């Protein structure tokens, strides 16, 4: 089995470090600031005798708490989309699309059956990078042929311009037996293999 080249490994390392830096900054600045506001508000409530002012302070605590929860949920979805494990690739892609493009809606037909875990995760990560690189809301389609040893495809149109991560995305697709057709200025297509669950073709006892 071939191993990734050193430049690709360094690119992956830098990409992971950039994501860790972004998450750490959000935790420190946004979540930390919200928690500090909650702590300050709680102290104010303790010493406030005026019922109206106390109610306002409590509302501010609730607002800061909601903000902190929203930030943590967003970070969780970025690090590992919960829908990918519980519902499927189509649900995870929809949630990521609507997270990156607030107010937009994405309709995807579910695949005939779920891809392997690693394959689904590769598909999601490649789509995540491409969606972030898109200058506008791209059209996204997901389709599978349903054969036992078939493939599924993920298309993004209009195409995305050349990006620094393109060699790494190619390598990720190849690592799970797929391919990424990524020509700047044309629709980008990710084609990955998947097999039907063993129970799907088994005769009942």
Give the model's pLDDT for residue 44. Answer: 85
Q: Say what the pTM is.
A: 0.72
Q: Can you tell me the distance from the alpha carbon of 118 to that of 96, in angstroms, rounded to the nearest whole number?
A: 18
Domain boundary residue among 31, 56, 79?
A: 79
Give the model's pLDDT for residue 3. Answer: 55
Domain of 137, CATH number, reads 3.30.565.10
27 with 61, same domain? Answer: yes
Give the model's pLDDT for residue 4. Answer: 58
* Alpha-carbon torsion, ordered 52, 56, 62, 67, to 10 deg: 170
Residue 61 resides in a domain: yes
121 with 157, same domain? Answer: yes
17 with 53, same domain? Answer: yes
63 with 145, same domain? Answer: no
68 in helix, strand or coil? helix
Q: Which of 197, 149, 195, 166 is nearest to 11 (CA)?
A: 166
Print the domain residue range for 34: 6-79
Domain boundary residue among 45, 62, 79?
A: 79
Domain boundary residue among 79, 111, 137?
A: 79
User: Could you give the count of Cα atoms lying within 13 Å of 170 in the half-sphere of its Cβ?
Assistant: 12
Please state the separation of Cα 171 from the chain's center in Å: 19
100 with 180, same domain? Answer: yes
Tokens representing 155?
A: 């298309």
Residue 184 resides in a domain: yes
pLDDT in tens, the chain (205 residues): 455 567 777 777 777 788 788 888 888 888 888 888 888 888 888 888 888 888 888 998 998 899 888 888 888 777 778 888 888 899 999 988 988 898 888 888 888 888 888 899 899 989 988 888 887 888 899 988 755 557 888 888 866 777 888 888 888 899 889 999 887 778 888 999 886 544 444 444 4
Residue 204 resides in a domain: no
108 with 187, same domain? Answer: yes
Give the model's pLDDT for residue 23. Answer: 83
98 with 161, same domain? Answer: yes
Residue 205 resides in a domain: no
73 with 86, same domain? Answer: no
110 with 69, same domain? Answer: no
107 with 191, same domain? Answer: yes
For residue 126, the tally of other CB atoms under 10 A from its CB is 24
3-state helix, strand, coil in the chain (%, to 5): 60, 10, 30
Residue 102 resides in a domain: yes
Residue 1 resides in a domain: no
Give the model's pLDDT for residue 93. Answer: 92
Q: Which of 37, 31, 29, 32 is nearest to 59 (CA)?
A: 37
Give the model's pLDDT for residue 149. Answer: 58
- Distance (Å) of CA 149 to CA 47, 53, 96, 126, 198: 68, 66, 28, 22, 11
110 with 192, same domain? Answer: yes
Tally of domains within the chain? 2
Residue 160 resides in a domain: yes
27 with 128, same domain? Answer: no
Helices (H), 48-185: 51-79, 82-86, 89-100, 117-133, 166-175
7 in helix, strand or coil? helix
Residue 24 resides in a domain: yes
Q: Can you tell me the distance from the alpha carbon of 7 to that of 22, in angstroms, rounded to the nearest whole number?
A: 22
């Amino acid at each position: 089995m071939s191993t990734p080249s050193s430049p690709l490994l360094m690119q992956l390392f830098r990409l992971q470090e950039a994501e860790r830096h972004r998450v750490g900054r959000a935790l420190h600045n946004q979540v930390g600031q919200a928690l500090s506001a909650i702590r300050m508000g709680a102290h104010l409530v303790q010493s406030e005798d005026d019922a109206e002012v106390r109610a306002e302070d409590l509302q501010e605590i609730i607002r800061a708490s909601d903000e902190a929860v929203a930030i943590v949920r967003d970070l969780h979805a970025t690090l590992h989309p919960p829908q990918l494990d519980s519902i499927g690739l189509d649900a995870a892609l929809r949630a990521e699309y609507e997270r990156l493009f607030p107010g937009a809606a994405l309709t995807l037909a579910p695949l005939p059956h779920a891809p392997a875990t690693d394959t689904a995760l590769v598909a999601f990560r490649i789509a995540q990078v491409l969606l972030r690189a898109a200058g506008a809301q791209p059209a996204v389609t997901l389709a599978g042929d349903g054969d036992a040893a078939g493939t599924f495809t993920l298309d993004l149109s209009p195409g995305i311009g050349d990006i620094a991560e393109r060699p790494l995305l190619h390598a990720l697709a190849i690592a799970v037996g797929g391919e990424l057709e990524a020509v700047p200025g044309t629709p980008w297509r990710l084609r990955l293999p998947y097999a039907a669950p063993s129970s799907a073709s088994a005769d009942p006892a």
